[in-house]
Structure 1
Amino acid sequence: MSDTEIVVGYDGSPDATAALQWALQQARQDDRAVRLAYVFEWLTVAGWVGPGVTPGMWPDEQARRQVEELVGKAAADAAAAHPELTVRGDVLDGPPALVLEEISAQAGLLVLGSRGHGGFAGLLAGSTAVTVTAHAHCPVVVVRSDSAAGARTGHVAVGVDGSEPSLLALGFAVEQASLRRVPLHVVRAWQPRRDQWSLTGEQARDAALADQRADLDEALHRWQGTFPDVEVSVETAAAAPAGLLIDASRNAQLIVVGTRGRGGLRGMLLGSVSQQLIQHAHCPVAVVRER
């Protein structure tokens, strides 16, 4: 596996299909190979293990063959539709979260549907979602089928709070905006303490917001020198981070965040804010962490 390869968690579900289409478009833009990965977890009791798969007792070789056919056909169809790309598919064994984490160590990008079935049942609805997005060794893009269709146009948005992970997210977002030849919209949510609201007037609040903007300008300076072609807009607001980021995603084709933040983005992928963004963003969500 190449460390520039795009890996797609694929199980034939609508969200996984949307993730595959997103990954193929991304691969066309940055000239990468695409690998479909179905994580097959054997059942120890009779049950359903995947789309179009006949249930049976473990070990169910027929189910394994059907999964291999599903992934092989999807990879072949993708390669036929995009002959300029290298596309392959694999069926892997083990717990989905652990296998995906291992794969990400050698991938350039991991793309997942927000919900799946079979080997990826409830992938981004519970603990597995937190594990994959928080611990993957490469950037992870989460795609929902109902948000991907209208996300082909628009800007790239990024949430930045000054923490190291958010600065990594900023770098990823600038590169994506340059690659896609679209503007970059940088968002900083600032939430002062209650006592700050009571002790400061409007002028003091404006000064605090100006300080937040100055910090952003400093972070942007290095990237604007590397990517002078990217048009940048900045939004700094005293607001709840989840709502501000969801609003920022409304007209975006991709929104980018770090795995952990401070201030307005604290615990982005460990609590309610992360879940709200993944479930309600109007475009695919990229989660970036240090390799």
Structure 2
Amino acid sequence: MPESAPPIVVGFDASDGAHAALRWAMDEGARSGRPVSLVFAFDWPVNTGVAGLAPAFWPDYGAQEEADEVVVATVAEARQAHPGVPLTGTVVPGAATAVLVERSRQSHLVVLGGRGAGGFAGQLIGSTSISVSTHAHCPVVVVRGREPAANAPIVAGVDGSDYALMALEFAFAAAAGRGTGLRVVRAAERSGTRGDEDRAATAELVARWRDKYPQVATSVHIDSRPPAEALVDASGGAQLVVVGSRGRGGFRGMLLGSVSQQLLYHADCPVAVVRELPAR
């Protein structure tokens, strides 16, 4: 794949979570052949001047130099571990969320750690990751939880909405790229005939993609528990959980602030939130 292909963008701030996100992104780049772009969003610090003297504030150039040094060292280390993956690193002025949402317009994925520091100072999972997941123009992967087994399945949460259909397409492609299986989970708090209808409808959705990805072993699971509980539980045996950012039916009324947010807080593996399909 050419280096001009839409990249995998990593929001980086030198925290442990950001390093985990970079490792995940480099592994994904090795699988897909896509370039990786490390972006250190740098909200420029300023020093306060002496009262009555101009300028009142001036940029802390030392802080930018430190950020530049961190990026150079991090890129060199990552290239050594993944020599076949094209990787660039840049320090970009601006708030993390705004920078990453803008970068997502031309990106295949945006990858974030579960917690941030430095350029993302004080921004835990509830702010940067949720804001980017809500507004990004491509799928967002938040790397959290344990280190999953390479042969663990992909889990997709579906409910029949357009967003869930995009999540299912993304999940099939992810499973195919990793040579692993796909568990499709539908939270449907119904039983009897209506529960059978949910199972049939979900099987029909899955069948649309089986022809394109015949190598992906797929299973369908109808879970009577609330959606977030069902998917958090399923994450325990998965290497990635994929959800759409909005839903209806089994996820009725569950916007990013509920089902997806619960996964971003509590899942035991990385979480992909899909509200738009990736740039090709």
Q: Please state if 1:104 is matched with 2:104.
A: yes
- Pick from 180, 204, 213: which aligns with 2:178? 180
Cα drift, residue 28 of structure 1: 0.7
1:237: Cα distance to partner? 1.8
Which of 231, 242, 245 in structure 2 is aligned with 1:259? Answer: 245
Which residue number corresponds to residue 64 of structure 1? 64
Deviation, structure 1 residue 275? 2.2
TM-score between the two structures when normalised by the length of structure 2:
0.90
Match of 1:243 in 2: 229
Contact 1:18 / 1:148 at 8 angstroms: preserved in 2?
no
Q: Any residues of structure 2 matched to 1:154-233 within 5 Å, and which?
A: 154-192=152-190, 205-233=191-219
**Structure 1 residue 167: Cα displacement:** 0.3
C-alpha distance in 1, partners of 2:102/2:4?
13
Tell me, in whole angstroms, the C-alpha distance in 2 between the residues paired with 1:33 and 1:282.
27
Partner of 1:200: none
Letter in 1 for 2:11: G
Extract unaligned runs of 5+ from structure 1: 47-56, 193-204
Q: Give distance in 2, aligned partners of 1:7 and 1:148.
A: 22
Farther-moved stretch of structure 1 (117-126 vs 85-94): 117-126
Q: Is the 8 A contact 2:112 2:129 kept in 1?
A: no
Which has the higher mean CA deviation after the structures are superposed, 243-252 or 267-276? 267-276
| Residues in 1 aligned to 2:45 and 2:74: alpha-carbon distance in whole angstroms | 24
Q: CA deviation at 1:221?
A: 1.3
Q: 2:35 aligns with which of 33, 36, 44?
A: 33
Q: Percent identity over the alignment?
A: 48
Report SS of the residue matched to 2:106: coil
CA change 1:152–1:133 in 2 (3 A) is same
Note the aligned Cα RMSD (angstroms): 1.8
State how far apart, in whole Å, the 2-side matches of 1:129 and 1:268 are.
18
Question: After the TM superposition, which residues 95-134 of structure 1 pair with which residues of structure 2 at under 5 Å, given as runs?
Answer: 95-134=95-134
The code of the aligned residue for 1:10 comes to F
Q: Residues 26-47 of structure 1: CA distance to partner in whole angstroms, max 9, x if unpaired?
A: 111111111110000023467x
User: Are the equivalent residues in 2 in contact too, given 1:76–1:87 (CA < 8 A)?
Assistant: no
Aligned equivalents of 1:25, 1:178: Cα separation in 2: 15
CA–CA distance in structure 1, aligned partners of residues 122 and 187 of structure 2: 30
TM-score normalised per structure 1: 0.87
